[in-house]
Structure formats: structure tokens, C-alpha cells
Amino acid sequence: MKKGSLPLTEDELAQQRKEFNEVFGRSDPQLTNHDEAILPEVLRQMLIDIQDVRFHYWLYNNYFDILPPTNREVTRWWQSPLFLDYDSIWNVEFVEDAMICDVILQKSLPAKKERIKVGYKQIYRVARFIEGVSMTEKQSYLYSDSSKLKMPSLD
């Protein structure tokens, strides 16, 4: 899609969901959107979608790791959902167990990209939102498995 195209209608959104489900071989996304095996493809679809500035995603994870080189003492960020859109993710790689990418983590100028690794086992929800399309948060879930939600240990 090109930037600045018209917002999707409800019918177009329904058709897009149907096509998405057909690609992933799912007839009822509410029953099967917790299959971790689909995560790499859901994330690849995200990269396609965000080429259109109307799309944005929330990637909810237990933690992600900041990769070297870094001057940070703490390199594992717990419970830090990532907002991802056209202007917030670069140089994405998919490896066997994770997505590796550059993002901006600090609100400062000049903006500095940092390389992070988000393990598929740590992702418990992927939500897609489209500007101008009304949907509930639950309708936005492309992947959700709350049983994977973990908190860091207190020690």
C-alpha cells in the first residue's frame, strides 16, 4: 500500500482478516491465535503492514535484550511493550528463536538506534491497529497467549 491511501472500510478489514487467516491456515483466529509457530509470519506481516503509515503494532513481551555494543549496565528490559510503526523499526532479522531489530529506546535528541533481540517465547501478544478503523483491543490481536506472561523474579 502507498502512504496516504484511504482508510480501510469494515468490509475491507474483514476481507484482510480472512486472507490473513487463510495464509496461516486458521478458520477461527480466536481459537488458534495462541500458536507460537505463527509468530515469525505474524511479525513478517507486521513489516509489510507498517509500510502504510496507518498501521501500527504493539508487541507485548516479557522482556527483550539490548545487544552489544551498549553502554547500559542493565541490558534486559522486563515488561516493556514495543510500539512499532513505519518510523520506529529498522534492520529486522528473523532467526530461529527471535526477531532482532533496531529501535529507539530513549527519548532524546539526536535519536539513537539500539539493537534488540525479542525471543518468540517471550512474546505473549501482538496487536495491530489501523488508523480510521474502529475495533476493540481484542479484535486487534493477531497473536495472544496470556499463559506466556511472566514477571521477573524479585531476587
**The one-letter amino acid at 149:** L
pLDDT band (50, 70, 90) for residue 22: low
- From CA 81, how far away is CA 62, in angstroms rounded? 8
**Burial (0-12, 13-18, 19+ Cβ within 10 Å), 135:** middle
Topology of domain 10-145, CATH: SH3 type barrels. (2.30.30)
pTM of the model: 0.78
pLDDT tens-digit map of 104-132: 998 888 889 999 999 999 999 999 998 88
Q: How many helices (H) and strands (E) does the chain have?
A: 4, 9
Q: Is a pLDDT exceeding 60 seen at residue 27?
A: no
Per-residue pLDDT at 152:
78
- From CA 84, how far away is CA 79, in angstroms rounded? 16
Q: Is a pLDDT exceeding 60 seen at residue 72?
A: yes
Q: Phi, psi (5° rounding) for residue 66? A: -90, 125
Cβ(36)–Cβ(145) below 8 Å? yes
Per-residue pLDDT at 106:
85
